[in-house]
Amino acid sequence: MNKRNIKLSYMYDGSRYFGFQRQPKHITVQGEIEKILNLVCNEEINLISAGRTDRGVHAKHQVSNFYTISSITVEKFKYLLNRGLPRDIYVFEVEEVKENFNSRYDAKYREYEYIISSERNPFEARYVKYFPDKINIEKLKEIFLPFIGIKDFHNFRLKDCVSKISIREIEKIDIDNFENNKVKITIRGSSFLKSQIRIMIGTALAIYQSRLPENYIEILLKDFSKEYKKILVEPEGLYLSKIVY
C-alpha cells in the first residue's frame, strides 16, 4: 500500500508537559499524540513537527505531519485524536497533503508570543508572566531593536543545542498593550535555536530593569570569545502562536 502523508494542526496547554519532544520517562505533547496514532493506525508513527517547545510553553498553532498506510479518513483521524487525547491538547484540522510536504522544513516563518502582566493573578500564573514594573512600550521596543535582521545568535541558545549553524533571521518584533495591564511581545522568524526566544526576552527584560548594561544585546551578538550567562525568562506566558507555509 502507498503511504499517505497526514498533516495535523493543533493547540495545547503545555503546563503539565515536559516539553513537546518525545521523552521515554516523561509525559510530552509529541508522546501523547503518537500514543493515540500508534493505536489508531496499528503501526509505529513518528511525528515531524514545525517546532519544539520547552517545558511549560504553550501552542496556539502547532503543525505536524506523519506517514501512514492506514485508510482512515481525515475526518475520522480528527475525531479519534480528540476523543483519545487529554483535554489540554486539541486538534483543530487534519489534512492529507502531498508526499513531499514537511511541516518543519516547509514552514516559511514561525511566530511566538510572550504575555506579561503587571497585575498578579493566581489564575493566570501558568499562562502569563508577572512583571511588577509598569512597562514603557517604546523603551522596550528600543531594547529589542538590535535583534532585528540576520544575526548570529550563538550566545542566545543553550549549550545542548544541536544546531550546527547559529545564524538566524528575525523578521520583526512587535510589542503592544494587550487586554488590561498586559503587554504582548510577538517575535517572527524563519526558525529558532533551542530556548532562543526565552533567552532573548529574558535578556531584554533584565536590561529594562537595569540589571544589565544597555548595550548588552549588541555585545552578545558580536562577542563569541567567551561563554556568557544565559538569562531565560519563565516559560509561562510563552506561546507558539503561528506557523505559515
Instruction: Enumerate the active-site residues.
Output: 54
Q: How far apart are CA 240 and CA 174, in angstroms?
A: 15
Residue type for 49, please? S
Q: How far is CA 24 from the centre of its chain?
A: 21
Query: Following DSSP, what letter does each residue of 171-217 receive, concatenated?
Result: EEEEEEEETTTEEEEEEEES---TTHHHHHHHHHHHHHTTSS-TTHH
C-alpha cell at 185: 511581545
HSE value, Cβ hemisphere, 13 Å, CA-based, for 15: 11
**Do 30 and 22 meet the contact criterion of CB atoms below 8 Å apart?**
yes
Chain-centre distance of CA 3, in angstroms? 29
